[in-house]
Amino acid sequence: MMDTLPLWAAIPAVILLIISGILTLTGSFGLLRLETFYSRMHAPTLGNTMGVFCVLLASILVSSALEHRVVVHQILITLFLVISSPVTAILLMRAAIRRKLRNEQKAKESGEGA
């Protein structure tokens, strides 16, 4: 037997999913529109993290309504996302800074040798 989703859970879930889509789309547009690597990293990281957070809240709400008890397994996904997304962004930024410094140092060395 399939339970139907109550209206009190369906409406907030739909709103959260729409907000999620808007946030993710905004982050993706930021990736396309911004000019430097450093600014390009910021928009998708924030947009996608907040988008996934809204999807997970909607999932918790729908699962809890259908199971008739509080279901919070999705919080683990949220924790992994909150930990891994900023760490990944920081590592990419550090790699970009090191690459830039290395290229500047090579350009400086080739300019002195000529």
Helix or strand or coil: residue 82?
helix
How confident is the model at residue 1, as a pLDDT? 47
pLDDT (tens digit per residue) in 29-58 = 888 888 888 778 877 777 888 888 899 999
How confident is the model at residue 2, as a pLDDT? 60
Asked if the model's pLDDT at residue 6 lies above 50, the reply is yes
Residue that wins the pLDDT comparison between 38 and 70: 70
pLDDT (tens digit per residue) in 90-113 = 888 899 899 999 999 998 888 765
pLDDT (tens digit per residue) in 10-29 = 999 999 999 999 999 988 88
3-state secondary structure 71-92: CCCHHHHHHHHHHHHHHHHHHH
Q: In whole angstroms, how large is the CA radius of gyration of the chain?
A: 21
Whole-angstrom distance, CA of residue 94 vs CA of residue 11: 42
- The answer to whether the beta carbons of residues 30 and 40 sit under 8 Å apart is yes
How confident is the model at residue 114, as a pLDDT? 54
pLDDT (tens digit per residue) in 79-94 = 888 788 778 888 888 9
- The answer to whether the beta carbons of residues 60 and 74 sit under 8 Å apart is yes
